[in-house]
C-alpha cells in the first residue's frame, strides 16, 4: 500500500467503507481509518522528527514505544496508565496545545484503540496533516462576485456611485449604519492632493476647484492629479516601504550603496506610466530574462537587492565558513521574504526552521524558493541602457570571442612550427614584458607636503650615522600615475645636493651639485649619478628650490637617494631620513622609502630589451611559418585590435545595485566564476546551516492548488529561468494572492486600513477581510481590466465611500458597534506621514526643488568614510538647496536613520513596512518645533510671504491660507495678528506648521 | 500622578479606550491607528495593563535597568573568568580537541591572562587587576561565565545581544521595556542611550531602535556635556528669529487653535494627545538640562567616579584617565537619569571596530586596548553600583554588563586575541539579583561552556531581566507581519539560580 510511506489519508477508501459505520472491522483498519487521522491532524505536526515537542514523536510504532520526556504515552490495553488519554481529555485538556480540544468522540476512538491493544499496523508511518482538507479564504480560486443590488427604496440606493459603494452599502444595511454626508470640496481637494500626490493643494488650485462649474469637476481633478508626475513620487514611497529600499547596506559599517537609486527611479517611472501590474511584477523578479534589452528589465532587478546586506558576512567571510554560510542563507531569506511578502502577502519566512505553524507552507517550499535565487548576490550590475548599444556590445563581444578562438588555433599552429626555440623566446618575452610586481612595488618613495606655489624650498636628508668618505650620490625620481604624470613624478625643476657634518647645513657645507639656477629637464625614472670624489660628511641633503607641478599644486617627491662609498656600498641603507615635512601615507609614501633600496623600474636593465626579443621572434617566424599563416595571424591581430577599439568607443555602461550573478574575488566570490550556476540548496534542519538535509529543486508554493508550483526545469537551464518561472507563477491569473494583495494594499493607502487589515499576512495569523466580496470583486476587476493602478485609484476615489466626510452626525451611535469604522460609515481622518509633512513644508515655504530622478540628496555630512561612515545629520546645513527636493529622493541610511523623519514614524528601511506606525510623543513635538529643517523652512516661508508685499494683516491671512488651505476666521485672524505683531511673521509661520490642522487630513 | 510621557499616544488612548468603551467612540479605532498592537491583537498577547504593583504579569523585583555594552567583544578570560590552565600552558601550541573555525587567524599558542587575578570580597571572587575597582562591589555581582553567541560576526552578534535577533528590524531590549512598562516620569524619555562619544558600535542606532514598536519607544540618544545633548531639545541654532517668549506664546496660541479644531472633530483623541504632547515637550526642555548637569555634584561623588583627576587634555594614545573620564561621566549621568525616573539606560563603551582602536576588538594587542578601556569601565561601573546602593536605588535597579562575544584563549599574533563566539561572560547586579555568585562555568580554557549542552543564551538573560521587572517574557508580544514577536523569539528560560 502506498500509504505506508505517504501517510494514511486518501488511499484507504475500502477500509473506510467498512469502518466508518461498523465497529466490526480489523484492528489494522481501525487504526488506519479512525485513529491515524486524529493523530495526523491534531498531534503529529508538533510530535514529529528529531526536534519533536517533549522529545515524543508519534510517527511510527517504534517512536511511540520509545516515548518522550514523560515516558511512553501509551500502554497497550491499559487506558488508565496511558498518558496520551490524560493529555487530551478532561475539562481543560493540555493537548493539543494552542488548539481546540479533541471532540468527545475522538477521545473515545483513542480510548477504544488503546483498550483494544493499541494495534499499529506494520510499516505505517504517520505524517503531518494539520491542514489536510482545510481551505483558507486567500488561497481559494478568485472569481468575481456579482455587484449587490440594493432595493430601490433602501436609503442607501441613491448614495451609491459605483460598484464599491454597493458592496459597502450592503454591509451598512446589515449593520444598521448609514454613510456620512459627502465632504466639502475644500476638504476633498486637500484629501485627494495628499492622497494622490503627497502634497497639499495650493490656494490657487483650491480656488479653481471651488469655482469649477463642470459637473465632472471632481473627476477632472482626479485625472489631473493622477497625471501629475508627483503621483509616481508619492506612490513609489509606499512601494519602497514594502520592499525595504535603502541607499546603504545596513549591518556593520553600513557602507553607502551609490547605485541603488536607479531602482527607485524605475518605480516612479513605472507608476507614472501606469505599467500593467503583471509586467511590473515580472520585471522586478526576472526583467532581464523576460524583457531582455530593456532599461526597465534591468533596473527593476533592484527589487531583489533592495533590503539590507551583511557586508562583513560576505566580504570578509567566505562561503566555506559557517558564518559565511549563515550570511548567505540570511541573504536569500531576505530575498524570498521580500518576494513572497510583497507580491503574495504570505509569511513564508516562518517556514525556515520547520513547516509553517499556521499556513500550509512546508519547510521544503521555503527552500525551493531559496533555490530560485541561489545563484544571486547583491552587487552593482552594469548594463547598457540603450538597447542599440547593448546590441552592439553583444555583437562585439561575440566577434571578440570568435577572433580569440581563431587566435588560439593559430597560436597552436605557430607553436608547433616554431618548436622549442620559439617557446624559449616567448618565455623571455613574457618575463621582460611583465609589469614590475615585486612586493615593494607599492613603495613609491618620499613625498613632501603640498604647496600652492612652486617657489617654496623643501629639503630631505640622510644621516649616515657618522662622517664617511663618499664616492658618489645617486638620486632616482618616482613613478606615480596620479594625474597621468607617471615617471618623474614629483622631481623638482630646480634643486641642489649638499654634504655636511652639520645637520642644519649652516656650517661646512659642500656642494655635490647645484641646479638651483637652472630648470632641469625631468629625468623620468633614470637614476641621476653625481660623483663626490671621496669628500667626507655625515649628512647628505637634497634641497628643491623650485617644486614639481602636480595638479594645480606643487610638491617634492623622490624614490631613492643612494650614497656610495669607494667599495660601491650604499651607506644610505643604514641611515636615518629627516625632512622639512613629509606626507606619511604608508606603504606608498613615507620617508624611509627613500632608502629602502627600491625604485620603480630598477630591474628593467637586467631583463634585456623587449624590442630586441621581439625582433628575434619575428625573424624566427619568417623562417619557420608559411606566409599564408603569418598573413592570417596578422589580420587576426589587427581585427582584435579593431574590436577592442570599438568596445572602448561605446558609451560607458550604466549601473544599478541589483540581484545579480556576481563575479568577485576573495571572500565575496559570487557564482560568476561558475558561469552563474546556482548554489546547491539543501533543506536545513531547524534552519541550521550545519545540518543540511536533502537537496531541493527550485519551485514555488504548493499551497495554491489551482497553479502548478513545480518548475520542472531541464538540466543545464540558466539561473534566470528559475526566476522567470517564479515571475510567471506570481503573475498567473490563477494566483489568487497576487491580485488580492495589490488591491488590498492600494485600498489601505486610500482609507488608512486595508480590507484585510494585515496587508503582509493573508494567512491564519492575519486578519480576515471585512468585505471579502468587495476584495474579490476589485481583484478580478483589476486583473482582467488592464491591471491599471491608475484605474483602480480612479475607481476608489470617485466612490461615494471615499467622498464621505470624516465626521458623521451619528458617530456616537455607530461607534458602539463599530468603533473602528471598519465598515466605513465615515472617512478616516489621516495623520500625515513624515514625507508628507516634509514635502508640504517645502511646498508651503516656497522652497520645493521639483527636480526628479537621479542620485538622492544627502542631508548629512559623512565623517570617517574609510571604515564605518559616520552619517552626521547635525552637521548638515539645512539651507542647502540641493536638499530641498521631495523626500522620495532622500538618500536613505539604514543604521543611522534620519532623526527627524524617524521621529515622525517614517519607514524603517531595514524591515518591510506594509503599514506605518503612527505615534504621538513629546519627542515628535520637539522635532517639529526645533529641527533645523523646520525652522529654516519657516524662515523661508515668512520671507516668501513678505516678498508679496502688503501689510502684516494681509500677510498673516496669506500664510494661514497657504499652510492650512482655508481662510482664517475673524477670531483666528485677530489672535494671529496679535501674535505676529509681537513676534514677527517667522515665528507665526513656525506656529502654523506645528498646528494639528497642518498635520492631519480630514 | 504616574502619567506617562512616552506612552502619551498609547497609554492615554488605552485609558480612553477603556473609558469610552461604554459610550464614547473611536477608542479602538484610535488605538488601531496608533498601531498600539498590544491593545488590539486579541490573538497576539495580552492587552497591556500594569498591575498596581507596577509589574505587567507579576510583582516586580526591579523597576529600572542599566545595560553596559562593551562594543567589539571584551575578553572574558582577561577580565573576569580566571583560567589557571592558561598560565600553566602559556606559549604552548593550543589544542582545542576539535577543529575550530577562527574568525581571523587567532589559533596561535595558548595565551595566559594579560593581568594577574586577585580575590575580592567575602565571595573571594577572582578579578583581574585591570578591573580591580569592581572588587569593592564584587559581592553585589553575579557572574555568568557560559554565555554563548551564535556568530562571530560583530554586526549579527551585537544585534543578538541588543535585540534578541541577529538581523536588523527588531526592537532593542529597552524599547520592549518601555513598551511593556511605560515611563516612571513625565519629563524625560523612558529609554535613554549614552553612546560612545567617538562613534557608534556595529549597527549604530539600530541597536536601540523601536523597529515595529511605536517610535517613542526607541532609545533617545544623549551626549552629556555637548552643545546639543538631545537632538532638537532646543531650536536649531541657525535660526535667530526664535525667542523663549515667542515659543511660550506660540504654544499657548497653538493650544487654543488646536482645541477649536478638535472641538469640531469629536471623538478623535489623537488630536487631544497631540495638544498634550506639546505641553510635555515644554516640560522636557526644563527637566533634561537639569538632569544632565553634573556640575553641582559634590566632591566626594566626583572622587568616587574618578572624575577628580583634574586633567583637561588627553594624550593621543589611549589611556586610562581618559577612558575613566568618559565612561564614569556616563555612569554618573545614568545615575541622575535613574533618580529622575528614566527606566532604561544603555551605556556603550567602544566605537566602530576601526583604528586606532577605541573599542574592545583587540585582535592586535589586548593590553594596549583592554587595559585603559577596562580600567575606565570598572571605575565607572563600580562607582555607579556604590552610588545607587547608598541612595537605596540598587535594590530595584538591575545592572547588566555585556558584550557581543568573548575572545579566544589562544593568541592572535602574540599580543592579541581573535573572536570567541562560543563562550563569554555577562555579569548582573542589583534589583532581585543574588550577589557574590558565579553561575555557569566555562571549560578549562574559557573556550566553550563546561556543560556544552546547557549554555546560557542571551534569551535567558533577557528572560531573567524581564522576569525581575514583572514581565513574563513569553507574554509580552506584538504581532508583526503575521508573527507574534517577542524579545526572546521562541526561546529563553528565567535563570532562577541568579535570583536573590
How far is the C-alpha of A218 from the C-alpha of A193, rounded, in Å? 12
- For an interface test with A, the pick among B28, B30, B33 (most A C-beta atoms closer than 10 Å) comes out as B33
Spans of chain B below 50 pLDDT = 1-46
Count CB atoms within 10 A of the CB of residue A459. 19
Pairwise CA distance, residues A924 & B232, whole Å = 10
pLDDT digit string (tens) for A558-584? 999 999 998 888 899 888 999 999 888
The sign one gets for the Cα dihedral A805, A806, A811, A812 is negative
In Å, how far is B346's CA from the nearest CA of chain A?
17
The chain B residue lying nearest A872, using CA atoms, is B199
Instruction: Provide CATH code, domain B56-224+294-498.
Output: 3.40.720
Torsion over CA: A995, A997, B1, B5 (sign) = negative
pLDDT surpassing 50 at residue A936: yes
Instruction: Report how far apart, in Å, the C-alpha atoms of B439 and of each of B83, B147, B452 are.
Output: 15, 10, 14
Instruction: DSSP for A524-572, please give it.
Output: TTPPEEEEEEEEEEEEEEEEEEEPEE-SSSEE-EESEEEEE-TT--BGG
Does the distance separating the beta carbons of B25 and A819 come in below 8 Å? Answer: yes
Q: Do A919 and B9 touch (CB under 8 A)?
A: yes
Average pLDDT of span A759-766: 92
Length in residues, chain B: 500
Per-residue pLDDT, B39? 33
Interface test with B, best of A351, A358, A897, A929 (most B CBs within 10 A): A929
| Per-position b or e across A409-424, b if 16+ CB within 10 A of its CB | ebeeebeeebeeebee
pLDDT category at A135 given cuts 50, 70, 90 is confident
Chain A residues within 8 A of B28 when measuring between CB atoms: 819-820
In angstroms, the separation between the Cα of residue A487 and the nearest Cα of chain B is 33
State residue A609's pLDDT score.
62
* Chain A residues inside the 8 Å CB shell of B196: none
pLDDT at A435: 53
Residue with cell 495554491: A704
Give the residue-averaged pLDDT of A412-434.
82
Closest partner residue to A931 among B29, B167, B232, by Cβ? B232
Whether A522 contacts chain B with CB within 8 A = no
User: Which residues from chain B sit within 8 angstroms of residue A998, using beta carbons?
Assistant: none
Query: Which residue do the cell numbers 599563416 mark?
Result: A629
Return the number of other C-beta atoms located less than 10 Å from residue A651's C-beta: 11
Nearest to B167 among A330, A753, A874 (CB): A330
Cβ <8 Å between A911 and B168: yes
Q: What percent of chain A has pLDDT over 70?
A: 96
> What is the residue whose three cell numbers read 490642522?
A997
CA distances to B69, B141, B177, B374, B385 from B399, in Å: 11, 9, 14, 17, 8
pLDDT at B176: 97
Residue A92, judged by CB atoms within 10 A of its CB (0-12, 13-18, 19+), counts as exposed
Residues 604-643 of A with CB under 8 A from B: none
B421: nearest CA partner in chain A:
A323
Check residue A97 and give its pLDDT.
83
Q: Does A946 touch chain B (CB under 8 A)?
A: no
Q: What is the pLDDT of residue B14?
A: 35
CB contact under 8 A, A996 and B261: yes
CB contact under 8 A, B258 and A996: yes
Smallest CA–CA distance from A874 into chain B, residue: B231
Residue of A nearest to B237 (CA): A932
> CA-to-CA distance for B437 and A886, rounded, in angstroms?
58
Q: What does the pLDDT read at residue A24?
A: 56
Q: Chain A residue closest to B155 (CA)?
A: A252
User: A926, B281: Cβ pair inside 8 Å?
Assistant: yes
Q: Are B498 and B434 in contact (CB under 8 A)?
A: yes
Q: Give yes or no for A990 touching B (CB within 8 A).
A: yes
Where would I find the H helices in A60-162?
A: 61-66, 83-88, 104-115
CB pairs under 8 A between A and B: 309
Residue A898 to residue A872: CA distance in whole angstroms: 9
Nearest CA in chain A to B150: A323
Chain B nearest C-alpha distance from A940 (Å): 11
- Looking at residues A916-935, what average pLDDT do you find? 93
Residues contacting residue A364 through CB under 8 Å, at least 6 positions apart: A683, A696
Which of A758, A896, A917 is the closest to B215 by Cβ? A917
Place of cell 571572500: A667
Average pLDDT, chain A: 90
pLDDT (0 to 100) of residue B427: 98
pLDDT in tens, A244-292: 999 999 988 899 999 999 999 999 999 999 999 999 999 999 999 999 8
For A751, nearest residue in chain B (alpha carbons): B33
pLDDT for A973 beyond 60: yes
H/E segment holding residue A370: helix A363-372
Mean pLDDT of A186-209: 98
| Residue pLDDT, tens place only, A9-53 | 333 444 444 454 445 578 888 888 888 888 888 888 888 877 788
Residue B318 φ then ψ, to 5° = -60, 135
Residue from B356, B345, B332 nearest B324 by CA:
B332
Nearest by CB to B25, which of A322, A334, A811?
Answer: A811
How far apart CA A108 and CA A544 sit, in angstroms, is 104
Mutate to test the interface with A, among B267, B481, B489 (most CBs of A within 10 A): B481
Q: Which of A925, A981, A982, A1002 to mutate to test the interface with B (most CBs of B within 10 A)?
A: A925
Q: How far apart are the first and last CA of chain A?
A: 66
* Nearest of A298, A314, A359, A307 to residue A336 by alpha carbon: A307
Topology given in CATH for the domain delimited by A446-595: Jelly Rolls (2.60.120)
Partner B, chain A 781-800, Cβ-Cβ below 8 Å: none
User: CB A321 to CB B101 under 8 A?
Assistant: yes
Whether residue A917 and residue B35 make contact (CB cut-off 8 A), yes or no, is yes
pLDDT in tens, A371-408: 999 999 999 999 988 888 888 988 999 999 999 999 99
pTM of this structure:
0.77
Residue B126: C-alpha distances to residues A358, A854, B117, B145, B451 (Å): 51, 60, 6, 13, 21
| Contact list, A867 vs chain B (CB under 8 Å) | 352-355
**Quick check: A347 pLDDT over 80?**
yes
Tell me the shortest Cα–Cα distance from A56 to chain B, in angstroms.
Answer: 19
A53 CB within 8 Å of a chain B CB: no
Taking an 8 Å cut-off on Cβ atoms, the answer to whether A930 and B235 are in contact is: yes
Do the Cβ atoms of A930 and B154 come within 8 Å? no
All structural domains of chain A with their residue ranges: 3-132, 185-227, 275-385+656-731, 392-435+611-650, 446-595, 934-1001
Q: Rounded distance, CA B184 to CA B2, Å?
A: 7
CB-nearest to B33 from A752, A900, A983 is A752
Q: Which residue of chain A comes nearest to B236, CA vs CA?
A: A932
- In tens, the pLDDT along A56-77 reads 888 888 888 888 888 889 888 8
Considering only CA atoms, give the Rg of chain B. Answer: 24
pLDDT number for residue A604: 57
d(CA B397, CA B390): 13
Interface predicted TM-score of the whole assembly (ipTM), two decimals: 0.82
- Mean pLDDT, to the nearest integer, of A961-987? 97
Contact B274 A996 (CB under 8 A): yes
pLDDT tens for each residue of A612-636: 788 888 888 888 899 999 999 999 9
Measured between beta carbons, the chain B residues lying within 8 angstroms of A136 are none
Query: Could you tell me the sign of the dihedral formed by the alpha carbons of A863, A865, A866, A870, in that order?
Result: positive
Judged by CB atoms closer than 8 Å, whether chains meet at A323 and B266 is answered as no
Strand order across the beta sheet in which B141-147 lies:
B220-221, B191-194, B344-349, B64-70, B397-403, B424-430, B141-147, B437-439
Name the residue among B25, B210, B236 with its Cβ closest to that of A932.
B236
B434/chain A closest Cα distance in angstroms: 31
Amino acid at each position: 500500500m502506498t500509504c505506508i510511506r505517504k501517510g494514511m489519508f486518501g488511499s484507504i477508501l475500502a477500509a473506510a467503507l467498512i469502518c466508518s459505520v461498523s465497529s466490526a472491522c480489523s484492528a489494522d483498519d481501525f487504526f488506519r481509518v479512525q485513529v491515524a487521522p486524529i493523530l495526523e491532524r491534531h498531534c503529529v505536526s508538533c510530535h514529529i522528527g528529531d526536534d519533536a515537542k517533549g522529545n515524543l514523536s508519534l510517527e511510527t510504532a517504534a517512536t511511540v514505544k520509545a516515548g518522550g520526556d514523560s515516558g511512553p504515552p501509551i500502554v497497550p490495553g491499559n487506558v488508565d496508565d496511558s498518558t496520551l488519554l490524560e493529555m487530551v481529555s478532561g475539562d481543560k485538556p493540555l493537548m493539543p496545545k494552542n488548539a481546540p480540544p479533541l471532540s468527545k468522540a475522538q477521545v473515545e476512538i483513542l480510548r477504544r484503540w488503546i483498550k483494544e491493544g493499541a494495534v499499529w499496523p506494520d510499516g505505517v508511518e504517520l505524517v503531518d496533516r494539520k491542514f489536510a482538507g482545510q481551505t483558507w479564504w486567500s488561497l481559494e480560486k478568485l472569481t468575481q462576485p456579482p455587484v449587490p443590488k440594493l432595493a430601490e427604496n433602501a436609503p442607501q440606493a441613491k448614495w451609491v456611485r459605483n460598484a464599491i459603494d454597493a458592496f459597502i452599502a450592503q454591509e451598512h444595511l446589515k449593520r444598521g449604519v448609514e454613510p456620512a454626508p459627502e465632504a466639502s470640496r475644500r476638504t476633498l481637494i486637500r484629501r485627494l492632493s495628499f492622497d494622490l500626490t503627497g502634497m497639499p493643494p495650493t490656494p490657487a488650485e483650491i480656488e479653481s476647484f471651488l469655482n469649477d462649474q463642470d459637473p465632472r469637476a471632481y473627476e477632472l481633478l482626479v485625472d489631473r492629479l493622477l497625471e501629475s508626475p508627483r503621483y509616481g513620487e508619492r506612490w513609489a514611497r509606499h512601494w519602497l516601504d514594502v520592499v525595504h529600499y535603502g541607499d546603504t547596506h545596513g549591518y556593520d559599517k553600513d557602507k553607502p550603496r551609490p547605485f541603488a537609486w536607479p531602482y527607485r527611479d524605475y518605480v516612479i517611472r513605472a507608476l507614472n506610466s501606469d505599467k500593467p501590474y503583471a509586467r511590473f511584477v515580472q520585471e522586478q523578479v526576472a526583467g532581464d530574462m523576460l524583457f531582455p534589452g530593456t532599461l526597465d528589465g534591468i533596473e527593476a532587478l533592484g527589487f531583489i537587492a533592495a533590503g539590507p546586506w551583511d557586508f562583513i558576512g560576505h566580504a570578509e567571510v567566505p562561503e566555506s565558513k559557517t558564518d559565511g554560510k549563515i550570511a548567505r542563507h540570511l541573504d536569500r531569506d531576505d530575498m524570498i521574504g521580500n518576494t513572497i511578502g510583497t507580491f503574495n502577502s504570505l509569511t513564508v519566512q516562518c517556514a525556515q526552521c520547520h513547516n509553517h505553524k499556521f499556513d500550509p507552507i512546508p519547510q521544503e517550499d521555503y527552500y525551493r524558493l531559496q533555490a530560485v535565487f541561489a545563484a544571486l548576490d547583491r552587487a552593482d550590475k552594469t548594463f547598457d541602457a540603450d538597447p542599440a548599444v547593448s546590441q552592439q556590445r553583444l555583437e562585439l563581444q561575440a566577434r571578440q570571442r570568435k577572433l580569440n578562438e581563431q587566435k588560439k588555433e593559430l597560436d597552436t599552429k605557430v607553436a608547433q612550427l616554431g618548436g622549442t626555440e620559439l617557446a624559449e623566446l616567448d618565455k623571455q618575452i613574457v618575463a621582460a614584458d611583465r609589469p614590475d610586481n615585486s612586493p615593494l612595488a607599492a613603495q613609491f618613495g618620499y613625498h613632501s607636503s603640498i604647496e600652492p606655489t612652486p617657489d617654496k624650498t623643501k629639503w630631505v636628508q640622510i644621516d649616515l650615522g657618522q662622517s664617511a668618505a663618499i664616492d658618489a650620490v645617486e638620486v632616482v625620481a618616482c613613478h606615480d600615475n596620479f594625474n597621468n604624470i607617471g615617471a618623474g613624478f614629483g622631481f623638482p625643476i630646480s634643486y641642489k645636493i649638499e654634504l655636511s657634518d652639520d645637520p642644519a647645513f649652516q656650517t661646512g657645507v659642500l656642494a655635490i651639485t647645484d641646479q638651483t639656477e637652472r630648470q632641469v629637464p625631468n629625468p623620468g625614472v633614470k637614476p641621476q649619478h653625481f660623483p663626490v670624489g671621496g669628500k667626507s660628511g655625515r649628512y647628505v641633503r637634497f634641497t628643491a628650490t623650485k617644486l614639481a607641478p602636480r595638479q594645480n599644486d606643487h610638491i617634492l617627491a623622490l624614490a631613492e637617494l643612494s650614497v656610495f662609498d669607494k667599495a660601491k656600498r650604499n651607506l644610505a641603507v643604514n641611515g636615518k631620513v629627516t625632512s622639512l615635512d613629509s606626507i606619511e601615507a604608508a606603504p606608498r609614501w613615507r620617508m624611509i622609502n627613500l632608502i629602502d633600496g627600491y625604485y620603480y623600474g630598477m630591474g628593467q636593465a637586467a631583463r634585456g630589451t623587449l624590442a630586441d626579443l621581439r625582433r628575434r621572434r619575428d625573424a624566427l617566424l619568417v623562417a619557420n611559418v608559411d606566409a599564408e599563416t603569418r598573413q592570417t595571424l596578422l589580420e587576426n591581430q589587427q581585427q582584435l585590435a579593431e574590436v577592442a577599439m570599438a568596445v572602448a568607443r561605446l558609451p560607458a555602461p550604466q549601473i544599478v545595485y541589483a540581484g545579480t550573478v556576481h563575479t568577485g574575488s576573495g571572500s565575496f566570490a559570487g557564482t560568476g566564476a561558475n558561469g552563474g550556476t546556482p548554489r546547491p540548496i539543501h533543506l536545513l534542519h531547524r534552519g541550521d546551516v550545519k545540518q543540511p538535509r536533502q537537496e531541493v529543486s527550485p519551485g514555488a508554493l504548493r499551497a495554491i492548488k489551482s497553479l502548478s508550483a513545480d518548475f520542472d526545469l531541464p538540466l543545464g537551464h540558466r539561473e534566470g529561468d528559475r526566476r522567470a518561472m517564479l515571475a510567471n507563477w506570481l503573475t498567473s491569473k490563477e494566483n489568487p494572492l497576487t491580485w488580492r494583495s495589490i488591491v488590498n494594499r492600494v485600498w489601505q493607502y486610500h482609507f488608512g486600513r486595508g480590507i484585510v487589515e494585515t496587508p503582509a499576512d493573508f494567512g491564519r495569523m492575519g486578519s480576515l477581510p471585512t468585505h471579502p466580496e468587495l476584495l474579490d470583486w476589485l481583484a478580478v476587476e483589476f486583473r482582467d481590466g488592464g491591471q491599471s493602478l491608475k484605474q483602480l485609484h480612479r475607481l476608489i476615489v470617485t466612490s461615494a465611500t471615499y467622498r464621505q466626510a470624516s465626521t458623521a452626525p451619528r458617530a456616537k451611535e455607530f461607534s458602539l458597534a463599530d468603533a473602528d469604522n471598519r465598515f466605513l460609515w465615515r472617512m478616516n481622518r489621516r495623520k500625515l506621514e513624515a514625507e508628507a509633512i516634509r514635502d508640504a513644508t517645502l511646498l508651503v515655504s516656497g522652497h520645493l526643488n521639483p527636480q526628479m530622478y537621479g542620485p538622492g540628496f544627502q542631508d548629512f555630512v559623512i565623517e570617517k568614510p574609510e571604515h564605518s561612515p559616520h552619517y552626521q545629520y547635525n552637521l548638515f546645513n539645512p539651507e542647502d538647496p540641493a536638499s530641498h527636493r521631495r523626500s522620495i529622493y532622500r538618500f536613505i541610511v539604514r543604521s543611522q536613520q534620519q532623526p527627524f523623519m524617524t521621529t515622525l514614524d517614517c519607514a524603517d528601511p531595514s524591515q518591510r513596512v506594509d503599514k506605518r506606525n503612527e505615534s504621538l510623543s513629546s519627542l515628535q513635538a520637539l522635532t517639529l518645533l526645533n529641527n533645523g529643517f523646520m525652522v529654516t523652512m519657516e524662515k523661508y516661508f515668512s520671507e516668501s510671504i513678505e516678498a508679496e508685499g502688503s501689510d502684516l494683516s494681509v500677510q498673516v491671512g496669506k500664510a494661514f491660507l497657504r499652510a492650512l488651505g482655508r481662510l482664517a476666521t475673524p477670531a483666528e485672524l485677530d489672535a494671529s495678528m496679535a501674535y505676529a505683531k509681537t513676534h514677527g511673521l517667522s515665528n507665526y509661520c513656525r506656529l502654523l506648521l506645528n498646528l494639528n490642522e497642518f498635520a492631519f487630513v480630514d | 500622578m504616574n502619567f506617562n510621557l512616552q506612552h502619551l499616544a498609547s497609554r492615554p488612548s488605552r485609558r480612553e479606550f477603556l473609558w469610552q468603551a461604554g459610550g464614547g467612540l473611536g477608542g479602538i479605532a484610535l488605538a488601531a491607528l496608533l498601531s498600539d498592537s498590544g491593545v488590539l491583537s486579541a490573538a497576539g498577547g495580552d492587552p497591556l495593563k500594569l498591575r498596581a504593583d507596577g509589574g505587567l504579569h507579576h510583582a516586580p523585583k526591579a523597576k529600572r535597568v542599566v545595560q553596559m555594552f562593551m562594543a567589539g567583544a571584551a575578553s572574558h578570560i582577561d577580565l573576569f573568568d580566571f583560567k589557571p590552565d592558561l598560565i600553566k600552558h602559556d606559549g604552548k601550541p593550543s589544542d582545542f580537541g576539535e577543529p575550530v573555525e577562527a574568525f581571523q587567524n587567532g589559533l596561535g599558542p595558548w595565551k595566559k591572562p594579560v593581568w594577574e587575578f586577585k580575590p575580592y570580597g567575602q565571595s573571594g571572587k577572582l578579578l583581574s587587576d585591570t578591573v580591580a575597582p569592581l572588587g569593592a562591589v564584587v559581592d553585589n555581582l553575579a557572574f555568568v561565565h557560559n554565555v554563548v553567541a551564535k556568530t562571530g560576526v560583530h554586526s549579527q552578534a551585537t544585534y543578538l545581544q541588543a535585540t534578541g535577533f541577529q538581523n536588523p528590524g527588531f526592537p532593542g531590549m529597552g524599547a520592549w521595556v518601555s513598551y511593556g512598562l511605560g515611563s516612571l516620569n513625565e519629563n524625560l524619555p523612558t529609554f535613554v542611550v549614552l553612546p560612545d562619544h567617538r562613534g557608534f558600535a556595529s549597527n549604530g542606532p539600530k541597536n536601540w531602535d523601536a523597529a515595529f514598536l511605536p517610535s517613542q519607544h526607541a532609545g533617545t540618544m544623549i551626549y552629556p556635556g555637548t552643545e546639543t545633548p538631545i537632538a532638537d531639545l532646543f531650536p536649531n541654532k541657525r535660526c535667530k528669529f526664535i525667542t523663549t517668549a515667542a515659543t511660550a506664546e506660540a504654544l499657548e496660541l497653538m493650544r487654543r487653535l488646536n482645541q477649536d479644531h478638535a472641538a469640531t472633530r469629536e471623538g478623535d483623541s489623537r488630536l487631544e494627545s497631540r495638544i498634550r504632547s506639546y505641553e510635555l515637550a515644554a516640560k522636557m526642555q526644563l527637566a533634561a538640562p537639569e538632569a544632565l548637569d553634573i556640575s553641582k555634584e559634590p566632591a566626594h561623588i566626583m572622587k568616587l567616579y574618578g572624575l577628580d583627576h583634574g586633567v583637561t587634555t588627553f594624550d593621543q594614545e589611549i589611556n586610562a584617565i581618559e577612558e575613566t573620564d568618559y565612561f564614569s561621566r556616563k555612569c554618573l549621568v545614568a545615575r541622575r537619569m535613574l533618580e529622575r525616573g528614566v527606566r532604561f539606560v544603555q551605556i556603550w563603551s567602544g566605537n566602530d571596530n576601526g583604528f586606532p582602536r577605541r573599542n574592545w576588538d583587540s585582535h592586535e594587542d589586548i593590553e594596549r586596548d583592554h587595559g585603559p578601556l577596562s580600567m575606565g569601565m570598572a571605575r565607572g561601573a563600580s562607582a555607579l553600583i556604590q552610588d545607587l546602593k547608598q541612595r537605596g536605588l540598587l535594590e530595584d535597579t538591575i545592572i547588566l554588563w555585556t558584550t557581543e562575544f568573548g575572545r579566544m584563549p589562544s593568541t592572535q599574533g602574540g599580543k592579541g586575541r581573535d573572536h570567541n563566539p562560543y563562550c563569554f561572560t555577562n555579569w548582573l547586579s542589583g534589583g532581585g539579583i543574588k550577589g557574590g555568585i558565579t553561575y555557569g562555568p566555562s571549560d578549562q580554557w574559557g573556550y566553550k561552556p563546561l556543560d556544552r549542552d546547557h549554555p546560557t543564551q542571551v534569551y535567558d538573560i533577557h528572560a531573567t531581566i524581564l522576569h525581575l521587572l514583572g514581565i513574563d517574557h513569553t507574554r509580552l508580544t506584538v504581532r508583526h507581519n503575521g508573527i507574534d514577536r517577542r524579545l526572546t523569539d521562541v526561546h529563553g528560560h528565567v535563570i532562577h539560580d541568579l535570583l536573590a
